[in-house]
Structure 1
Amino acid sequence: MIEAQAPGKLYIAGEYAVVETGYPAILVALDQFIRVRVSPSHGYGTIYSQQYKENSIHWRRKGNQIVLDNRDNPFHYILSAIRITEEYVQLQTQRPLTTYDLTIDSDLDSVDGKKYGLGSSAAVTVATIKALCQFYNLAITKNTLFKLAAIAHFEVQGNGSLGDIAASVYGGWIAYHSFDREWLLVARQQLSLEQLLATDWPQLAIEQLTPPPALKLVIGWTGSPASTSRLVDAVSLIKAQKHQGYQAFLTASKDCIHQLITGFKNHDLAQIKAGIRANRQILSNLAQISQVDIETPLLTRLIDIAEAVEAAAKTSGAGGGDCGIAITDSDTTATTIRNQWQAHGIEPLALQVHTITE
């Protein structure tokens, strides 16, 4: 049996702007994973997830195509990952495609079904591709893994920056500059997969960052899941209506993230904390011009509690619920924040940054 895993992610700064080509964000990979296991089967293959017991899929081969026996399924990202990986396998090897059982298990949601917004669709896409490449005895670089997973994920979701894919592939702290997704749509039609993987993608840049040793990342969940796709779509409506305000937001976000990246490179925790606070204000300005509820009342409380003990805090990701983060240099302060959050109905998440070494 083959097993591969990919970590979840959390946005630190640069949300919303990162969906525009070339704009940066900072993310972390977390030590909660989606695991994919692949084992040979005969005749029919299955796709099974502990989280979707009642919706397992049975499939068979018709030539090199996968044919499903189930009409409705929640496994779109997994199936897209299988399709793109098998296209890649056929480019790289003469080995025939076979049937197999694929089992998914996730740490990214709680045992009682709570969804924390940690990028499960990206992680399952990455883990599926890694597992299948191992199954077919194919070595794969992180760059190729990112591109395959980005294609598979984007063909399902149709929007977003794909920064969560980068976090699941590279691990640790990363600075991510988003590539031109409109270009990808055209290139996918005009270039072979081999050409697409060998091509430099416009504006794409992924850089791993090393945080200052004293930096403590504290994560809290507000108990209210949010739909990133819907929030991003809502903000995108203001591009034409309030072009000047939106452009000002993009410029401010880019400048802020570049200052944050400099803070990481200089191991300057004070500069990082200032950047976190500045990014919160930039997102607040975006919320005002877009009328999108990015920072909910409970997220504001989460931030206020952290700021009261001199930590820097903000929403994480699209906001509208889900998680907030705080950055401090003190274990004592971090404990105080977690205790105060819990007292105010915010769930501290016992998560650590995950580094990928292979």
Structure 2
Amino acid sequence: MITAKAPGKLYIAGEYAVVEPGYPAIVVAVDQFVTVSINRAQKHGTINSKQYEEVPIVWQRQGHQLVIDNRDNPFEYILSSIKYTEQLALEKKRALCLFDLRVNSQLDSPDGKKFGLGSSAAVTVATVTALAKFYQLNLSKEEIFKLAAISHFMVQNNGSFGDIAASVYGGWIAYQSPDREWLLKMLQEKNLTQVLKMTWPKLKIESLNCPANLKLLIGWSGNPASTPLLVDEISHAHVNKQQSYQDFLTASKQCLQKMVHGFKIGSTQLITQQIKKNRALLQKLAQFSGVLIETPKLAQLCEIAQKHNVAAKSSGAGGGDCGIALADNNTSQQNDLLADWQQNDIIPLNFNVYFSKS
């Protein structure tokens, strides 16, 4: 049996701007995992997952036609990962064979609701990693990232791949997304082996050290959200409010550059200042786009944190899912904040930052 696991992620800052090539974000891996196991099979292969048996189907109407949106369906990412990893295996002259693939996920609540930890990215990374071992492809971390990004891109073409970077590299990451139009062009013109070896324009992945006196706290709103649909809504606002959107991008880049500098010099003050600034920028984005990013429950999460003198904001696309707070290593302050969240039906998630072992 071949087994591979990939951690979930949380965005710390830079959401929405990061989908534009070259605009930075900070993302962190958390110690909750998707595990993929592969066994050689004989007459037919299978794909099994206890958690994904009852994934809701999202659909829209285009005119009189019902169109299913599979971008929140984990099986779509698994199938895409198999397709592209096997394409690479063929390029490397490996013989394809049947297998049973089993998925086990910790990235959902006990009743099956998503926490918003990047399950689609983690299942993509875990599947690519397991299959690369199965076919003995000897891929580097950079190649696993690129192959997983391509597999993910072919299902959800509006993502940044930042969650994939967190799942591959672990820890705290400063991230900038590549030029997706260039990537699509290269995939049409070259084989996978060539595309994986190329330098991807604007892509940047850099590990950061978090100051020792800064603690990541995570609160779950209890309401799952669909990242692809929210990013779609923001992209419509981009077309209609071009100047406002450009101003948001410029301000987000300046904020994230300062925050990354704060990590590099170990300044908790600079980091937490920019967390507050990034929250304000997302609130402006929500205002001019008409997209609900900070739900009432996420706003309450942030306001409770502020009451305890802790910087907080929504994490990722918002619309539900999680919020994060960055607190000093003051155990009493942290305990009071977490208790306050709990009293207001915000569920503290006792997850830690996950650092890759190799």
Query: What range is the shorter-chain TM-score in?
Result: over 0.9
Q: Which amino acid aligns with 1:156?
A: V
Q: Deviations over 1:96-152 (max 9, x none)?
A: 111111100000012221210110000000000111111122321110001000000
- Find the aligned partners of 1:52 and 1:214 in 2 and give their Cα distance: 38
Aligned position for 1:149: 148
How far residue 53 of structure 1 moved from its aligned partner, in angstroms, is 4.3
**Per the alignment, do residues 291 and 84 of structure 1 end up closer, same or farther by CA in structure 2, a change over 3 Å counting?**
same
Percent of residue pairs identical? 56
Deviation at 1:296, TM superposition (A): 1.0
Aligned to 1:241: 240
Structure 1 unaligned regions, length at least 5: 56-72
Could you tell me whether the CA contact under 8 Å between 2:74 and 2:120 is conserved in 1? Answer: no
Q: Which residue of 1 aligns with 2:294?
A: 295
Aligned to 2:344: 344
CA contact (8 A) 1:7 1:31 kept: yes
Whether the aligned pair in 1 keeps the contact of 2:36 and 2:127 (CA below 8 Å) is yes
Deviation at 1:78, TM superposition (A): 0.3
Looking at structure 2, the residues matched to 242 and 112 of structure 1 have their Cα atoms a distance apart, in angstroms, of 39
C-alpha distance in structure 2 between counterparts of 1:183 and 1:116, whole Å: 32
Q: Quick one: distance in 1 between partners of 2:345 and 2:106?
A: 22
Large movers: runs of 4+ above 3 Å:
52-55
Q: Which moved more, 1:185-194 or 1:18-27?
A: 185-194
SS in 2 for 1:319: coil
CA–CA distance in structure 1, aligned partners of residues 234 and 258 of structure 2: 24
Gaps of 5+ in 2: 56-72
Aligned equivalents of 1:179, 1:243: Cα separation in 2: 21
1:91–1:194 Cα contact (<8 Å) kept: yes
Q: Which residue of 2 aligns with 1:67?
A: none
1:212 aligns to what? Answer: 211
Q: 1:31-59, CA deviations, whole angstroms, 9 ceiling, x for partnerless residues?
A: 0000000011102111111113479xxxx
Give the structure 2 partner of residue 24 of structure 1.
24
1:122 corresponds to which letter in structure 2?
A
Hey, what's the Cα distance between the residues in 2 that align with 1:269 and 1:116?
A: 27
**Secondary structure, counterpart of 1:75 in structure 2:** helix
Q: Which residue of 2 aligns with 1:253?
A: 252
Q: Secondary structure, in 3 states, of the residue corresponding to 1:115?
A: coil
> What residue is the counterpart of 1:333 in the other structure?
333
Structure 1: how far apart are the matches of 2:50 and 2:340? Answer: 34
Q: 1:105-144 to 2 correspondence within 5 Å? A: 105-144=104-143
Distance in 2 (alpha carbons) for counterparts of 1:216 and 1:222: 20
| 2:7 alignment counterpart | 7
Task: Provide closer, same or farther for how the CA distance between residues 341 and 209 of structure 1 changes in structure 2, counting only shifts above 3 A.
Answer: same
Count of aligned pairs: 340
Aligned to 1:158: 157
CA distance in 2, matches of 1:196, 1:54: 36
What residue in structure 1 maps to residue 191 of structure 2?
192
RMSD over aligned Cα atoms: 1.3
Distance, in Å, in 2 between the alignment partners of 1:33 and 1:299 is 24
Contact 1:216 1:331 in 2 (8 A): no
Hey, what does 2:35 align to over in structure 1? 35
Question: Structure 2: which amino acid aligns with 1:113?
Answer: G
Q: Deviations over 1:251-299 (max 9, x none)?
A: 0000000000000000100110001000001111111111111111111
1:58 paired residue number? none
